[in-house]
Amino acid sequence: MSNIMMLFEPYSLSGLRLGNRIVRAATYEKMADDDGRVTDRLVELYEELARGGSGLLITGFALVHPSGRAGPKMLSAHAESYIERLKELTDAVHREGGLIALQLVHGGRQCPPLLLGGEQAIAPSEMYDRFTRSNSRAMTEAEIWTVIEAFGDAAWRARSAGFDAVELHGAHGYLISSFLSPYTNRRDDYWGGDEERRSHFAEEVLKSVRSAVGGNYPVIMKVNADDLMEGGITPEESLRQVRRLEQQGLDAVEISGGMKDSRVRTIRPDIHRAEDEAYFKDSGKLFKDALNIPVILTGGMRSRGVMEGVLERGEADLVGMSRPLIREPDLPNLMRDGKERADCISCNKCTRFNKMDYVHCVQLKG
């Protein structure tokens, strides 16, 4: 079988039939309205993405509870009244023949207090965050269970709105990730203190989501295979945590890394050579060799040859892209027709959220 065949071969993810191995990784677009409702602009973007040929689209992060708002104009699924507009999004994608998963998040310590009505951000432990320039507050037992339940309720809403899957955002220093990480979880109770206890929050969220959506519905989790910081999670520890989640019914894992404080960034700039691409591929291999569930590898995928190599060497089952699809939503179709490399130059100007009304490729629109 040729390499090209592999990238563009169909793939079954827990019964969900993807047309190819390319996933649009979650990308916050800053295109929802001020309350987090789907806008016409967002529907149009997803129609374009669906026509563009990705096997699965994962939305930008969507809020599960008002205490976890991580960005202005982010999507929300924290109340029943959001279902109707979310359904317009899934209907539009399905009309174009695409599949769509809703990414669910609680922002935890990385939420700017300005977006929380001046309240302190909540997290496993009290800690200073140099990006929000504020201290998070340690969650009470009652708050922890409220958020766990909120994940379940939001997942139920996602299913009701017609999403084909949900992805739990367990990466990048947001709440689930900050419970998993020894750097941000300094508790000494059921929720932290050793590796197993640090996993409990993610496990309880998964249980809550599973009981809300039922057995026959794909639940994916994006994790940090590496926090990329001193005292943070390592690929070996992350793998042990994901194995526990796999035993509890997780359907697939997406590999990423880093948090806002890390020495190396999640969204790495200046990817110019093939060696710079697929920057979590060693973790991909580690995870794939040890797990039975599908592994999605995201981070720096730019050229068809590299993606084909990743699949061929067993470093992933599926490949995720964010920035290249901001610039070229139809990149999968272009690659299927022979394009070798994405136009995205990894300048990261599309991540200057404060300077932009909505996320777009600055190289295209000046």
Residues binding ligand FMN (CB under 6 A) = 25-28, 60-61, 103, 169, 171-172, 222, 256, 266-267, 298-301, 321-324, 350-351, 359
Minimal distance, residue 346 CB to ligand SF4, in Å:
5
DSSP state of 37: -
Q: Residue 66 or residue 193: which is nearer to ligand FMN going by CB?
A: 66
Determine contact, residues 203/197, Cβ cutoff 8 Å.
no
CB of 269 to ligand SF4, least distance (A): 8
Q: Given the rule CB under 6 A, which residues bind ligand SF4?
A: 323, 326-327, 344-350, 361-363
Is 174 part of the annotated catalytic residue set?
Answer: yes
Q: Rounded distance, CA 295 to CA 1, Å?
A: 21
Quick one: what does residue 274 bind among ligand FMN, ligand SF4, none, with the CB cut-off 5 to 8 Å set by partner type?
none
Which residue bears the tokens 């008002």? 66
345 binds, options ligand FMN, ligand SF4, none, Cβ within 5 to 8 A by partner type: ligand SF4
**In terms of CB distance, is 228 or 326 closer to ligand SF4?**
326
* Active-site choice (11, 28, 174, 279): 174
Q: For the chain, what is the radius of gyration of the CA atoms?
A: 19
Closest distance to ligand FMN from the beta carbon of 61 (Å)? 4
**Residue in 279, 262, 189, 202 with CA at minimum distance from that of residue 237:** 202
The structure tokens listed for 143 are: 């708050």
Task: Tell me if 171 sits within 8 A of 257, measured CB to CB.
Answer: yes
Cα–Cα distance between 312 and 3 in angstroms, integer? Answer: 7
Tell me whether residue 120 or residue 348 sits nearer to ligand FMN (CB atom).
348
Indicate the residue among 128 and 353 with the shorter CB distance to ligand FMN. Answer: 353
Tokens of 44: 């149009």
CA dihedral 100, 52, 319, 106 (to 10 degrees): -40
> Which of 91, 85, 90, 101 shows the shortest CA–CA distance to 38?
85
Of 57 and 242, which CB lies nearer to ligand SF4 in the complex structure? Answer: 57
Minimum Å gap between C-beta 323 and ligand SF4 is: 4
Residue 361 binds which entry of ligand SF4, ligand FMN, none, CB below 5-8 Å type-dependent? ligand SF4
Residues involved in catalysis: 174
